[in-house]
Amino acid sequence: MRLADLKIGLAVTGSHCTLEAVFKEVEKLVQEGATVYPIVSENVAATDTRFGRSADWLRELKRITGQEIIQSITDAEPIGPQSWLDIILVAPCTGNTLAKLANGITDGPVLMAVKAHLRNQKPVVIAISTNDGLGMNAKNLGLLLNVKNIYFVPFGQDAPMMKQQSLVAHMDRIKDTLLRAMEGKQLQPLLVEHK
Ligand SMILES: Cc1cc2nc3c(=O)[nH]c(=O)nc-3n(C[C@H](O)[C@H](O)[C@H](O)COP(=O)(O)O)c2cc1C
C-alpha cells in the first residue's frame, strides 16, 4: 500500500493547540501523493482562540490539501453512499468527539463523516488529544479500542506530572498508522512514552 494510492478524509476537531502539529503531518502526506479531503467540526469552523483565527486555519487547510472543506452534515453525508474515501483520519480528536463517537451521536460534520464511512466497513484512524483521556473519557477510549475498523495513532501522557489525565497522540506516527490500518492492523506499540 502506498500513500499515493490513498484518498484520505481528514476530520479536524477542536483541539486548537494541536492543529499546527497535525497540519504539518498532513502536508507531508500530500507531498507524498495522498489526496486529502478536509472535514472540520463546527467548532473548528467557527471558533477563534488564542491559537489562531478559524478563518486562518481553514485557509491553511485548503492551501495544504487543495480541496474544498466539508463543513456541514449535509456535505459529509454522501461519504456513505458514494464511498469515495479509503480511510478517515480524525486528527486531532477532542475528548468531545471521542465521547460522541463512542456513544453513537452524529450531530456534526466530523461525526457524520465517520458514521458514513464506517457503514462501508472501511477504516477510521483516531489521533486523540484530550486532557481527560485518563479521566472522564477513559471509558470511551476503552470502548473505541475494541470497535471494528477503528485504529489509534499511538498515544501517551504528554505531561504526566502537570496534567495527570491528559493523553496525546504522537502525530509523527500518523502516516505509519494509516498504512497499517489499511492492512487491517493496529500500529504497535500503541502506548508510547511522552516526549
Ligand atoms: C483554546 C482551546 C483549546 C482546546 N483544546 C482542547 C484539546 O486539546 N482537547 C480537547 O479535547 N478539547 C479541547 N478544547 C475544547 C474543545 O474545543 C470543545 O470541547 C469543543 O466542544 C470540541 O468540539 P468538537 O469536538 O466538535 O471540535 C479546547 C478549547 C479551547 C477554547
Domains and CATH numbers, the chain: 3-181 (3.40.50.1950)
Mutate to test the pocket of ligand 1, among 17, 44, 94, 126 (most ligand atoms within 8 A of CB): 94
Give the model confidence (pLDDT) of 14-25 as tens digits: 999 999 999 999
What is the Cα–Cα distance from 78 to 36, expressed in whole angstroms? 16
Q: Report the percent of the chain where pLDDT is more than 90.
A: 96
pLDDT (average), residues 82-107: 98
pLDDT on residue 2: 87
- Does residue 1 have a pLDDT over 80? no
Task: Please tell me the distance between residue 100's alpha carbon and the centre of ligand 1 in angstroms.
Answer: 13
Q: Report the percent of the chain where pLDDT is more than 70.
A: 99
Alpha helices for 54-122 (secondary structure H): 54-65, 73-76, 79-82, 95-102, 109-118
Task: Please tell me the distance between residue 111's alpha carbon and the centre of ligand 1 in angstroms.
Answer: 15
Number of DSSP helices (H) and strands (E) in the chain, helices first: 9, 7
Give the model confidence (pLDDT) of 9-64 as tens digits: 999 999 999 999 999 999 999 999 999 999 999 999 999 999 999 999 999 999 99
What is the Cα–Cα distance from 105 to 103, expressed in whole angstroms? 6
Task: Please tell me the distance between residue 97's alpha carbon and the centre of ligand 1 in angstroms.
Answer: 9
Ligand 1 environment, Cβ below 6 A? 13-18, 41, 43-44, 49-51, 94-97, 108, 129-130
Query: If pLDDT is split at 50, 70 and 90, which confidence band does 193 have?
Result: confident
Average pLDDT over the chain, rounded to whole?
97
What is the Cα–Cα distance from 8 to 57, expressed in whole angstroms? 19
Please give the grid coordinates belonging to residue 109: 460534520
Q: What are the phi and psi torsion angles at 66 (to 5°)?
A: 70, 20
What is the Cα–Cα distance from 32 to 156, expressed in whole angstroms? 27
Please give the grid coordinates belonging to residue 50: 488564542
Give the model confidence (pLDDT) of 152-169 as tens digits: 999 999 999 999 999 999
- Does residue 195 have a pLDDT over 90? no
pLDDT (average), residues 115-138: 98
